Structure 1
Amino acid sequence: MCDANSGFINLGDGILIDTQSDVKHAQMMIDLLSTISEGHPKFIINIHEDCDHVFGNQLFRNSEIIAHKSVPERIKLVANLEHMKESSTNDDNHLRLKAVEKQLAEDYNLSDVELVLPTKLFDEKYTLKIEDYNIELIYVGPCH
């Protein structure tokens, strides 16, 4: 089924947190969400740039995709496997990258992924107002 990286806040038109690792898994998530909510979520939050958080963005082109201002450039780097290989200089990083490549090849189809960047960027903090609720997005620095 889907990765465990996504979340959904069922308020107003909906808020989806992260969009999965590929189109197939993103569509599976959309199908699952349709059992509890109508239509696509209006807001998407990409918590960071890793492929398992953003490679389903293309299925949400009509939603506002929100992320920290550092995410667009970093998505481009993460999507470039050759760059990841070049930046992998020690044995631990090399082994980790090999494990990631193997898992991606076995579990995901990246051939139809189109990079869709966030449409709304914030610096330190962003407030998303939905109904009577304020959803606070706070950048706390690089972390996982």
Structure 2
Amino acid sequence: MSRSEWESLCDGCAQCCLIKLEGDDGEGIFQTDVACRLLDLESCRCTRYQERSRLVPNCVTLHPGNVSQLPWMPKTCAYRLLSEGKELFDWHPLISGDPESVHAAGASVRDAVISETEVAADELEDHIIYKVEVEEV
């Protein structure tokens, strides 16, 4: 798969751009409703995509070799679905032909999150929305 084909798998949901917190003493991973400061909350796209790894050192660059090792990836994510041998959802832009279909399906973070620029670091725990369920393989 070429780099452009790989990149086209992103459905633009931006769920992977939400800040996750690791619990103390191996308690798990917790999802917040706080998005990376580089995320455009309307388009659900990174405003500095090419520079993201330099600007946000803990931003994970996805590749076929690491997707299966990221239990926090959403179950609707095309990268995760393909790594698990599953089909894409009908609302995925590659299937629907419409980049807005992910938002219309309610699968994106549009209108559901705030930017980390609006939250103090010591308040992130107040924004936990769920514990990531890790499936045993």
Same fold flag (TM > 0.5): no
TM-score bracket, shorter-length normalisation = under 0.3
Which of structures 1 and 2 has the larger relative contact order (alpha carbons within 8 angstroms, sep 6+)? Answer: 2
- The alignment's TM-score, normalised by the length of structure 2, stands at 0.27
When you count strand as a share of all residues, which structure comes out higher?
1
